[in-house]
Amino acid sequence: MKLNVGVPNSMHVAAMVQPWEFALTGTDIGKAMQVADELGYNKCMLGEHFIMPAQHLDLSGDHYFHTTVALGFIAGQTRNLRLSWSVSILPLQHPLVHAKAWSTLDWLSGERAEALFGVGWLKEEFDMMNDASDDRDLLR
């Protein structure tokens, strides 16, 4: 059986976190992921949003890490733990920039990165980010 672990204090979604997580520092999170690695957990996972509209703050929270940066930090703290997003919102990122970040994370971590992509669900987030998927016209 493979067990995965959520990265503590990486998001403040009311239904998924405990208030004690909010006090954890980056150092604390690194140590927690080291312990998970030593205990043999399969992978760590964290959610992704870039900006949260005010009307969604109560349920979805106001705190999310930049996932690629956070996973790079965790990669440096661990040796075996696989690194993954819960879901990366692919249309909100330029595909070339995202592929470069992803491949860099994977290579530097010893091929421990695991991709999980989705299309997103929060229209207001797309609106607030000016729907970055329109940049795909540059690739044509």
Kindly report the CATH number assigned to the domain that includes residue 115: 3.20.20.30
What's the domain range around 14? 4-139
Two tokens, residue 8:
């503590």
For the chain, what is the mean pLDDT? 87
Helix (H, G, I), strand (E, B) or coil at 4: strand
List of long-range contacts for 62-70, beta carbons under 8 Å, 24+ apart: 62/12, 63/9, 63/11, 63/12, 64/10, 64/11, 65/7, 65/10, 65/11, 68/101, 68/102, 68/105, 70/7, 70/10, 70/46
Q: How confident is the model at residue 140 (pLDDT cuts 50, 70, 90)?
A: very low
How far apart are the C-alpha atoms of 56 and 128, rounded to whole Å?
A: 13
Tell me the pLDDT tens digit for each residue of 20-40: 999 999 999 999 999 999 999
Residue 132 in this model has a pLDDT that exceeds 70: no
Domain count, the chain: 1
How far apart are the C-alpha atoms of 10 and 112, rounded to whole Å?
A: 19
Give CA separation, 119 vs 42, 57, 84, 87, 122, in Å.
Answer: 25, 20, 16, 9, 10
Highest-confidence range of 8-22, 61-75, 120-134, by mean pLDDT?
61-75
The predicted model scores a pTM of 0.85
Say if CB 26 and CB 41 are below 8 A apart.
no
Mean pLDDT for the stretch of residues 70-97:
92
